[in-house]
């Protein structure tokens, strides 16, 4: 009798129960169907393809971009008695041949391969001769230029499904908004794949933002208030990591810096010391954290603002993996936004990708500037429906005055509906304010019922309220279709059932900025 999936989970991993969605995903894949899995880091994505791999005839090919992660995963699999190996540029010729032999002899259940490797040395042709049971595309957001970590090699992966139309494919990622997910599936040639999304909520993480002044002093106090608690401080530059680590050391805190410019032996030493709790604080660039399994990180501070919500979410997600209350703090300065904008402008990226990066930066900036529950912003970014404020962010704890903006929301959403979800911000504002410009006349938008219904507000006010509505999840946006607004379940509840909307009264940017500086 072959083992059931529950028995496989118990025998190879020692776990008694599947986490939500895992069992459904395993069944779906075993049924020969394509799937997209969106689960936060640490959510348990691996089991979703490893268990089917163990239960099916043949070899599961896992495409993974990170050599370090590949190594760790294969170590872990082997430790659990699962025959597996990886092929990437870190191996010498002899090691490669040994693995190829094992594959041909049918001795392996899982083979990890980097996309670079897959598309060199005739590997693809070799793969075509094998009995493949399943393709797993890990970190699949790398396929999409809408994602935050695009890798050109990934775009060739559509050849897999073309060569093996009947072999199921499972795409996995921890970070992809709706637009990116759609693009991933079309790029991989599995547009009909069923998407499984597990909740991104991490209620044990507190969220807060402070203006970026006196950062070192604030950090010193922050750490002093948390004796012996492990934490990570993320910085933009290598130089920053070094100076901040030094400042903390001077204050008697066991801190070390970590960045990609250090020799790998030194990096490994720092990392190990952190995991063993010999070092309390790591001051690092984003190079730190990939594949680090430390469950009791109690806080994460961002010294500078990350370039997008995906990265931010992933980085704060390294705190509180054990489910214990943990704190996150983001320092925000307008200067950081300018630096990021500059980095995008001067990068080698093609124009359309620059636009995407700018749009993503904008969402990150909105998180930092928000006056609505920050968790709402994070979760609505991943298109998760949120119905109430979290109570565990600085905005919830110290809420600004709000007013009942249901009527404004209804006008805006109704205009979105009446223009068939085709308009972006500036056009929507023109419609609401009844501006008679040529584009509006061309589209006959001046004939819809809500034309001019929002005359009483200035354009800046509308822009602010639309932004707040988007961030609080009462509507969505389609970056891939001209940034057009989209209606979601919450929008319809507001339109049809009169669900209330509370917004913060508009204030000009300068006024808000001045307030922020004096927090
Ligand atoms: P991801 O790839 O989504 O970041 P992993 O697959 O590495 O996450 O899983 C994260 C951790 O959760 C691992 O230690 C894994 O063994 C554990 N895990 C996965 N599934 C279960 C389960 N059903 N029960 C308990 N622990 C699980
Ligand atoms: Zn909140």
pTM (two decimals): 0.74
First to last CA, the chain: 66
User: Does the beta carbon of 259 lie inside 6 Å of ligand 1?
Assistant: no
User: Does the beta carbon of 22 lie inside 6 Å of ligand 1?
Assistant: yes
Q: Whose CA is nearest to atom 24 of ligand 1?
A: 15
User: Does the beta carbon of 42 lie inside 6 Å of ligand 1?
Assistant: yes
Ligand 1 midpoint to CA 48 (Å): 10
What's the pLDDT score for residue 518?
Answer: 46
Mean pLDDT, 10 residues at a time, the chain of 519 residues: 92 92 97 94 90 97 87 89 91 91 95 91 90 96 79 90 96 84 93 92 94 90 94 94 95 94 92 94 87 86 94 92 94 88 90 87 91 90 83 92 94 96 94 93 92 94 91 83 89 94 82 56
Distance CA 475, CA 485 (A): 7
Q: Are 258 and 192 in contact (CB under 8 A)?
A: no
What's the pLDDT score for residue 66?
Answer: 80
What's the pLDDT score for residue 102?
Answer: 95
**To 5 degrees, how large is the angle CA 413–CA 416–CA 422?**
155
Biggest alpha carbon–alpha carbon distance for the chain: 75
Instruction: For residue 103, give both structure tokens.
Output: 């594959």
What's the pLDDT score for residue 519?
Answer: 41
Ligand 1: which of 47, 75, 317 to mutate, judged by most atoms within 8 Å of the beta carbon? Answer: 47
Ligand 1 midpoint to CA 174 (Å): 13
Q: Are 287 and 66 in contact (CB under 8 A)?
A: no
Distance CA 244, CA 220 (A): 10
DSSP 373-415: -HHHHHHHHTT----S--SSBHHHHSPPPEEE-HHHHHHHHHH
Nearest to 478, CA basis, from 408, 424, 519, 405 = 424
Ligand 1 midpoint to CA 44 (Å): 3
Helix (H, G, I), strand (E, B) or coil at 437: coil
What's the pLDDT score for residue 356?
Answer: 84
Count of Cβ atoms closer than 10 Å to residue 53 Cβ:
25
Distance CA 375, CA 475 (A): 16
Ligand 1: which of 7, 17, 44 to mutate, judged by most atoms within 8 Å of the beta carbon? Answer: 44
Ligand 1 atom closest to Cα of 17? 23
Ligand 1 midpoint to CA 15 (Å): 10
Element holding 352 (H helix, E strand): helix 351-369
**To 5 degrees, how large is the angle CA 341–CA 347–CA 352?**
80
Can you tell me which residue has the tokens 């909307």? 501
Ligand 1 midpoint to CA 409 (Å): 41
Count CA atoms within 13 Å of residue 301 on its CB side: 22
User: Does the beta carbon of 289 lie inside 6 Å of ligand 1?
Assistant: no
Nearest to 216, CA basis, from 140, 279, 303, 93 = 303
Distance of CA 149 to the CA centre of its chain: 10
Ligand 2 midpoint to CA 265 (Å): 41
Q: Whose CA is nearest to atom 23 of ligand 1?
A: 18
What's the pLDDT score for residue 291?
Answer: 63
ipTM: 0.97
Ligand 2 midpoint to CA 216 (Å): 26
Q: Whose CA is nearest to atom 27 of ligand 1?
A: 44
Q: Whose CA is nearest to atom 19 of ligand 1?
A: 44
């Amino acid at each position: 009798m072959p083992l059931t999936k529950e028995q496989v989970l118990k025998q190879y991993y020692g776990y008694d129960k599947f986490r939500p969605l895992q069992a459904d995903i395993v069944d779906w894949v075993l049924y020969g169907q394509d799937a997209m899995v969106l689960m936060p880091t640490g959510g348990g994505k691996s089991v979703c393809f490893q268990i089917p791999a163990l239960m099916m005839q043949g070899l599961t090919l896992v495409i993974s971009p990170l050599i370090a992660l590949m190594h760790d995963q294969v170590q872990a699999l082997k430790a659990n008695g699962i025959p597996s190996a990886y092929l990437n540029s870190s191996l010498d010729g002899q090691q490669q041949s040994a693995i190829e032999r094992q594959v041909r002899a049918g001795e392996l259940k899982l083979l990890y391969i980097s996309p670079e490797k897959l598309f060199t040395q005739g590997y693809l042709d070799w793969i075509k001769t094998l009995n493949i049971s399943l393709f797993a595309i890990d970190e699949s957001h790398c396929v999409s230029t809408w994602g935050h970590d695009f890798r050109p090699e990934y775009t060739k992966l559509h050849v897999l499904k073309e060569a093996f139309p009947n072999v199921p494919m499972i795409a996995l990622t921890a970070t992809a908004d709706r637009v990116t997910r759609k693009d991933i599936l079309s790029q991989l040639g599995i547009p009909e794949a069923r998407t499984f999304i597990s909740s991104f909520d991490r209620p044990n993480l507190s969220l807060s933002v402070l203006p970026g002044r006196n950062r070192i002093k604030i950090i010193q106090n922050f750490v002093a208030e948390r004796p012996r608690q492990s934490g990570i401080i993320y910085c933009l530059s290598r130089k920053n990591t070094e100076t901040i680590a030094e400042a903390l050391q001077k204050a008697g805190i066991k801190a070390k810096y970590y960045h990609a410019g250090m020799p790998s032996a030194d990096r490994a030493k720092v990392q190990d010391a952190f995991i063993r709790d010999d070092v309390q604080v790591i001051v690092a660039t984003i190079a730190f954290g990939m594949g680090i399994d430390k469950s009791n990180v109690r806080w994460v501070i961002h010294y500078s603002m990350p370039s997008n919500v995906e990265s931010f979410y992933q980085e704060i997600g390294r705190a509180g993996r054990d489910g214990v209350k943990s704190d996150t703090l983001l320092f925000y300065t307008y200067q950081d936004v300018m630096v990021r904008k500059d980095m995008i402008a001067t990068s080698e990226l093609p124009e359309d990708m620059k636009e995407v990066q700018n749009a993503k930066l904008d969402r990150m900036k909105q998180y930092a500037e928000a006056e609505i529950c920050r968790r709402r912003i994070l979760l609505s970014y991943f298109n998760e429906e949120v119905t109430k404020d979290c109570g565990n962010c600085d905005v919830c704890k110290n809420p600004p005055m709000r007013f009942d903006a249901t009527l404004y929301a209804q006008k805006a959403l109704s205009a979105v509906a009446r223009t068939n979800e085709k308009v972006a911000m500036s056009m929507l504002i023109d419609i609401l304010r009844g501006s008679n410009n040529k584009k509006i006349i061309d589209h006959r938008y001046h004939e819809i019922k809500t034309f001019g219904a929002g005359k009483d507000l200035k354009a800046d006010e509308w822009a602010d309220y639309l932004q707040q509505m988007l961030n609080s999840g009462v509507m969505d946006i389609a970056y891939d279709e001209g940034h057009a607004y989209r209606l979601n379940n919450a929008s319809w509840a507001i339109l049809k059932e009169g669900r209330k909307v509370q917004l913060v009264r508009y204030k000009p940017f300068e006024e808000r900025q001045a307030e922020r500086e004096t927090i």
